[in-house]
Every structure is written in C-alpha cells, then in structure tokens.
Structure 1
Amino acid sequence: MLFTKPVFDTARRMGAYYCGFADISALTSSIPDLEGYRVHDYPAAVSVGIALSDQIINSLPNRDDVSVYQAYCRHYDETNHHLDSIATEICSIIEDFGYKTYHVPASSPRGPDGLTSEFSHKIAAHQAGHGWIGKSALLITPEHGPRVRWVTVLISAPIPQEKEPMDEQCGRCKACTQICPVHAISGDPFGTKEPGSFRFDRAACSKGFSDRKKMGLLAICGLCVYVCPYGKRTTNNEAYTSK
C-alpha cells in the first residue's frame, strides 16, 4: 500500500517506538460494531505504541505515595494524548489515499468494570507482530515487556499480514500471578479457545480498586506491569529473556 511508508515515518517522527499493520479480517466476526461503524468494513489496522517511563513504572511498588500516584496518572494521561495525536495524523494520511479510517482512542473504557475497551488494542498489537498476550492478559513486547501504551486505527483497505503474531514467551514465569494483590491472574497462558475470564478476572481487579478507595487508599496498582521480567532491563540494557 502506498500509505504504509508515510504512516511509518509519521509515527516515528512523532515519537512512537512501535508501528505496524495487522490483518484483522479473520477476527471481525467476534468484534462488536463501534458506535454505528461496522467492523466488517475495516479488515486491517495500524497498531501504534509508546513505551512508558521506566522511572515511573519502577515506582509503582510505592503506590501509596501521593507523588507516585500523581506522576503515574499524569504520565498515563499524557501518553494517551500523545498516542491519540499520532492516530489523528495517521487517519489523515490514509484518508488522503481514499480509504476510510476509525480511530480507537488510546483509552476508551467501557462496561461497569471500566477495564473493557471498545476495541482491543492488544489484539491489534499482537496481530501486528509487536508481541504476545501474556498470562497477565497484557500485550508483552520483547523490548519493553508490558510497559507500552497502545492506540489503534482501523482501515477499510485490505492489507497483507506484515509480520506473524508472536508465540507466547512467558514460559514458566508467574511473576504477575504472584504479585497480584487480588489474585485476578490465574497464571494460565493465553489461548483463543477460552474466554479472557479464564486467565484474568476483571471483576476482581476492578473490585480491588474500589476496595482501596473505600479504605481511603489511592486507586492505583499496575504491579503486573511493573514486575514482568521482560519490562526490566539487565545491567547491559538488554531485554530479559525467560523460558
């Protein structure tokens, strides 16, 4: 496609570490329509990601500190805004070539738990070959682990699969399972045949935030993001590898 290079160049120029195209045509039957838009009309997606600050993520074990909470929330919001700005530019580029787009905001929580988005950014990122869906139900990249925020642009143009989705590489690691304060992560590997609740209990995670508020504590966690070995750097700054 003629627009692929301008999209890549724009994403990188605007600060994205990850940018890739994904064929989602085989998945659209299992995805609900979006605010009047028929998902079937969008057989492909652009997945864009920005790595989060290691300094801020590494501070999450001290989550009861107000300054940690404020820094995390500010960084989270700024990163989402940054991603949405990149997605807006990408939409303009693709639409100039005569195709339709749908910008799925970086943060678009739906449902009573506030943890369900209108479209799964991690599915698009997985299909684009950026990483795999880990035991924590997060998208794990080899370079930054789960320390990445994502945005997705759906495209009406059919695009051949650029990279193959990565196989799960969590191995026997259960760091996220062990650190979860509400035991929301079962420790079972991702599988397309089981519902997501088989691996990750969204209700328990959401209740954990509510309970913290009731106890007068700050509604912040992110420990599964913090603890993942793939997100931590070794002394020579190489990504961790575990089997």
Structure 2
Amino acid sequence: MSNYSSESPDYQKLADDIRLWARHLGFQHVGITEARIPERDKKQFQQWLDQGLHGDLAYMERYKELRCHPEKLHEGVIRVISARMDYLPAETETIKILNEPEKAYVSRYALGRDYHKLIRKRLTQLGKKIEAVAPNHGYRAFVDSAPVMERPLAQQAGLGWMGKHSLIINRKAGSFFFLGELFTNLPLPTDEPYEKNHCGRCTACMDICPTQAIVEPYKVDTRKCISYLTIENSGPIPEELRSKMGNRIFGCDDCQLTCPWNRFARHTQETDFQPRHHLDNSDLADLFLWTEEEFLERTAGSPIRRAGFECWLRNLAVGLGNAPTTDKVMSALHQRQNYPSELVKEHVAWALKQHHPNAQD
C-alpha cells in the first residue's frame, strides 16, 4: 500500500483509491470539492432565512455562519469528500399506498433503520482507510448531524444538480439517496462542479406538492412542507393543511415520485434500509392503536423515533381524519378520544369532525 506522506505524494492516486474504497463500503458515488460554499448559495440561503421560510427551525439561523463557512467546522479542512448512498427499497408499493387512504404512508427513507449511524460509520471507516496510508490525514464525518450545507457541496463535488424541489438529482440515479461528507485536510484533486441543470421547463414537483410548499423553483416554504409538519414540528398541524396531507404520516415523497429523473432511481442493496414491521403496508388504524411501549420497541433504530409518540399519534389522527368513514377508522379514533395529551386530543376531535361535520362538539 502506498504511503502518501512522502515529499511528493500522489494525491491523484489517493483520490482514485478513495473512490474504490467508498464503493466497497456501499457508496454509489463520491466526489471531492473545496471546503467552501459558493457565494450564490450563501445568498440564496440568506434570502430564504430573511423570508422566514425556515419556520420554527431556529437552528438554521443560529448556525448560519457555520453553514456558510465549512472550514470552521473542522480545523485545517481544505477538502470535502461528498458521498451518495441510494436508499429506495425494492418492491414497495409506493403509489398504491398513496391511493389507499386507509393505509399509512411513510417516507421511503424512513422504512428501515436510521441512516445516520450507518453512513457515519461507513464514512469513518473510509477516513481510517485514508489515515492508514496518509498518517497526517485529519478527518471528520458528517451525516445530517451538523450545520453542513450538504447539497451545495454535493453539487460542487459533481454528484448532481439542485432540482426545483431543492434536492440533488443525479442523471443516472434520480434523487432517492442520502448524502454524507468526510472533511479532510489533504489537498486532494477536486472534481468538476455539476453546473448543468436538467430540470428545464418541468414543474412536476411544484405542481404535485399537496400543500404547495415549493413556492418557487428551488425554494421550499418549510412551514407548508409535510416532511417538516410531521417530523420537525412539535406543535399542532395548521388546520388548513390537514386535509391536504392525506395519509402521509411521516414525511412525504410526492415531489420525488413525480420527478421524471427518478425513473433511473436505483434500488438499495443495504439490508438496513429495507422496510421493517410492515411499515410499507400498514393500516392507519392499526398504527394508531400501538401502545407507547410498542412504538418505542418497533421504532428502535428508526428515523421515526425522532418524532416521538405524541406526534406520531397526532400525525395518524390527521391521516384517519382523511380516511374513509369505516367502523375500523371510527373505532380507532373513539379509543383515543380522551387521550391524556391536548395535542392528540385536539387532532382526534378534528378527525372525528371530518367524518361527522354536523356533530355537536
């Protein structure tokens, strides 16, 4: 194995090795870029904040300096290795579930185990492989766990372009993938930024968004986004948006499902990303009647855990309010009618009213 700490290290050879090692670790694509955010992306981010489109995500404003200056996140960093890992499970009846209002729709990324630990572990393994041949290598892995503007970095590293839904799209793989970053102090050769944009005049993602959260190309109003409302938001879901959520109880994939480029989306080979506990085909009513113990047991190691049981019930109550009026749906709602949480109780009351709009409060 070569030693890259010599006086004339072959960093191009090391970059090629990094790509090979990354593939062996389960990444489908890696690119290398300078540890800086382009001025256009900083400006767009500031405009998004100024317009209040980040909603209650105060940390976006609080850590904006770090987001805009990745060199402040890790001492001595000069390069970012941006990595892509596909997550779309095979044989999940995505569209069918959205068209069955008694079923619960969970975003495809959340059907299996939490991606944070898996990808961070793989990136750390990649860092150690580099360290074995470049002893002066300093590195730090990030997976949606620090104020990193991962999408501009991924575009700069050549992984794809920013779609109108604000996600990175790859011509050969669509957008159903996770991103992770390895910060390093090695002067590796960089990849060409992906400057082309292949969205053209297409507005499919904007047109299909249930709550019209994509307010203009490349700009999402977090306050309307179903992913935010069902995951990040810990309070009531705005009443005017509830009927638009349908059966989406944790996240939303509509903007990706309609994107023409996702006909090239690759199915994941990772067993950890395969659906667990039948969450790809469960009835809303069945999930609504889970006890808190069942919730904690069945969401162990799952992204769903971050929503918490109370918000899980809140989301399901909205889904049940949008479901057909059946004995099973009504029975489930009545069983939670006096649940000892004002948040849940209010959403159950709303759901019941959708089925019996003329009933007295």
TM-score, L = length of structure 2: 0.51
AA matched with 1:203: R
> Which range moved further: 122-131 or 169-178?
122-131
Q: TM-score, normalised by structure 1?
A: 0.73
Q: Equivalent residue for 2:130?
A: 94
Percent identity of the aligned residues?
20
Question: Is 1:229 aligned with 2:260?
Answer: yes
Which blocks of at least 5 consecutive residues in structure 1 are unaligned? Answer: 109-116, 191-198, 235-243
Offset, 1:60: 5.5
> In the TM superposition, what whole-angstrom CA distance separates every residue of 1:116-140 from its partner, at most 9, and x where no partner exists?
x621221221111111001100001
The SS at the match of 2:182 is: strand
User: Cα gap change, 1:37/1:140 in structure 2, threshold over 3 Å: closer, same or farther?
Assistant: closer
Q: Deviations over 1:92-132 (max 9, x none)?
A: 12334112112112x33xxxxxxxx6212212211111110
Alpha carbon RMSD of aligned pairs, Å?
A: 3.4
Q: Helix, strand or coil: the match of 2:80?
A: strand
State the SS of the aligned residue for 1:4: helix
Alpha-carbon separation, structure 1, partners of 2:251 and 2:238: 8
Which residue is equivalent to 1:15?
26
SS in 2 for 1:181: coil
Where does 1:91-240 land on structure 2 (aligned, <5 Å)?
91-96=127-132, 97=134, 98-105=136-143, 107-108=144-145, 118-188=147-217, 190=218, 199-205=219-225, 208-209=229-230, 210=233, 211=237, 218-233=249-264
1:167 to partner: Cα distance: 1.5
Q: Which amino acid aligns with 1:69?
A: V
- The CA distance in 2 between the partners of 1:89 and 1:222, in whole Å, is 31
Report the structure, 1 or 2, having the larger helix content: 2
CA distance in 2, matches of 1:186, 1:27: 23
Q: Name the CA distance, whole Å, in 1 between partners of 2:91 and 2:167.
A: 18
What is the total number of aligned residue pairs between the two structures?
213
Specify the alignment match of 1:111 in structure 2: none
User: Max radius of gyration: which structure?
Assistant: 2
Query: Do the aligned residues in 1 keep the contact of 2:83 with 2:181 (CA within 8 Å)?
Result: yes
